């Protein structure tokens, strides 16, 4: 089967990936590569350019400076239509059986497809409004454009697939979709190579029992709950469990200056072989992955953590509940839970080595069964074959 694999960015060129959407871009590449290994022919449609426009510049000035609202030109009708013209032009030059949009609705919103079309994404754009900070102060025009184009895209699709129940339910309720049109397939871990069973068993067995190692990975200290992770680490130390919080990512200097007890390793790039190995060792040698996010549409890192047999502790928000099996592989706590709630769960598990190994193994089994790209793309294949 030949797929017209459609994205805004160029999946094959990491240099053009937006720094704010690296997880989404990595997922797009992983999906394409995995589908190729499953026998699909991938015709890449993407690398779209955003045309310059005086009108959108003036609108941005008005909304930003006069109304103090956020305006995004990527949702502007002229921009979206131009995206779709670029996509159609590329489609006209290739032979394909089906269109698979593996990013969001914008590249396909106004297409008139001659073949079945499927959208597979982490969440509807509308679900991010008033949820993520950057989507919480939108001007009315941008909000209306997002709803309009997302609805058009979904109506044109034969099937829409989301990575979580949260995302699917939002789309069904928002756009009044029949449940038969919507499917849920969790996305996988964004690593080129995950540890094998032998490495995992060795790692679990070798994790020390004299100090609890917590791992936090992220680039947004506030939204990813860095302050909570730090407070949990302090609580454990105060309650008789020697604990080390290791932080990989981007942290404000003010936090590091006030908290020298943090083991800060900086931002580690998985595309750099040395930093990849360093990050791998952190995952293998930690006891728990703690990331109490305030908002998260999906969260690939929770797939990755479980692939390293790390029990996760986080918040019950967004699509995370489709990744974790609370309390079997970790815990999804309500936002604003008291610090002692997080700490007590970790303390009780850490002090019981047998129970810890059961949870760690369950986390790894969860990754093996449903949180890897091969399993995800096998599930997608079944849907595509019916179309």
Q: Can you give the residue range of the structural domain that contains 215?
A: 197-370
Whether residue 160 sits in one domain with residue 11? yes
CATH number at residue 54: 3.40.50.2000
Q: Both 158 and 204 in a single domain?
A: no
Distances (CA, A) of 313 to 128, 139, 205, 351, 368: 22, 35, 21, 16, 19
Same domain for 168 and 40 = yes
273 and 284 together in one domain: yes
- Read off the pLDDT of residues 167-220 as tens digits, 9 standing for 90 and up: 999 999 999 999 999 999 999 999 989 999 999 999 999 999 999 999 999 999
Residues 54, 123 share a domain: yes
The reported pTM is 0.95
Does 39 have pLDDT greater than 90? yes
pLDDT tens digit sequence for 218-260: 999 999 999 999 999 999 999 999 999 999 999 999 999 999 9
Instruction: Looking at the structure, tell me whether residues 73 and 175 fall in a common domain.
Output: yes
Taking the C-alpha atoms of residue 303 and residue 190, their distance in angstroms, rounded to an integer, is 8
Same domain as 243, residue 353: yes
| Pick from 57, 145, 73: nearest CA to 109 | 145
If asked whether residues 365 and 378 sit together in one domain, one would say: no
- Dist. CA 107–CA 193, nearest whole Å: 30
Q: Report how far residue 348's alpha carbon sits from residue 351's, in angstroms, rounded to the nearest whole number.
A: 5
Verify that 219 and 163 share a domain, yes or no: no
What is the tally of structural domains in the chain? 2
Residues 176 and 259 in one domain: no
Question: Dihedral of CA 34/359/165/313: which sign?
Answer: negative
Q: Give residue 111's pLDDT band: very low, low, confident or very high (50, 70, 90).
A: very high
Do 234 and 337 belong to one domain?
yes
- Provide CB contacts within 8 A for 61, sequence distance 6+: none
């Amino acid at each position: 089967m030949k797929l017209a694999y459609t994205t805004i960015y160029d999946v094959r060129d990491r240099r053009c990936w937006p720094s704010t959407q690296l997880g989404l871009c990595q997922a797009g590449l992983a999906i394409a590569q995995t589908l190729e290994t499953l026998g699909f022919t991938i015709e890449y449609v993407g690398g779209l350019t955003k045309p310059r426009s005086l009108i959108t510049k003036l609108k941005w000035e008005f909304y930003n400076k006069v109304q103090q609202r956020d305006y995004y030109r990527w949702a502007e009708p002229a921009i979206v239509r131009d995206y779709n013209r670029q996509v159609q032009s590329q489609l006209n030059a290739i032979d394909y059986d089906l269109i698979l949009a593996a990013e969001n609705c914008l590249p396909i919103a106004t297409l008139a497809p001659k073949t079945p079309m499927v959208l597979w994404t982490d969440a509807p754009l509308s679900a991010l409004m008033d949820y993520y900070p950057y989507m919480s102060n939108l001007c009315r025009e941008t909000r209306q454009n997002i709803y309009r184009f997302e609805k058009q895209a979904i109506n044109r699709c034969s099937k829409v697939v989301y990575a979580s129940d949260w995302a699917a339910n939002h789309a069904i309720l928002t756009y009044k979709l029949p449940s038969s049109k919507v499917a849920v397939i969790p996305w996988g871990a964004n690593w080129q190579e995950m540890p094998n069973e032998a490495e995992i068993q060795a790692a679990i067995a070798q994790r020390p029992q004299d100090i609890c190692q917590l791992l936090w990975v992220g680039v947004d200290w506030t939204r990813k709950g860095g302050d909570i992770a730090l407070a949990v680490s302090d609580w454990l130390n105060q309650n008789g469990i020697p604990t080390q919080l290791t932080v990989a990512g981007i942290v404000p200097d003010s936090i590091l200056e006030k908290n020298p007890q943090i083991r800060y390793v900086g931002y580690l790039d998985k595309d750099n072989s040395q930093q990849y190995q360093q990050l791998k060792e952190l995952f293998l040698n930690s006891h728990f992955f703690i990331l109490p996010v305030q908002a998260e549409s999906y969260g690939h890192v929770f797939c990755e953590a479980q692939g390293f047999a790390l029990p996760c502790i986080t918040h019950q928000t967004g699509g995370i509940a489709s990744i974790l099996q609370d309390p079997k592989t970790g815990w999804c706590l309500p936002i604003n839970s008291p610090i002692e709630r997080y700490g007590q769960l970790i303390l009780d598990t850490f002090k019981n080595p047998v129970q810890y190994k059961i949870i760690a193994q369950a986390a790894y089994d969860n990754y093996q069964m449903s949180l890897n790209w091969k399993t995800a793309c096998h599930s997608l294949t079944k849907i595509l074959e019916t179309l």
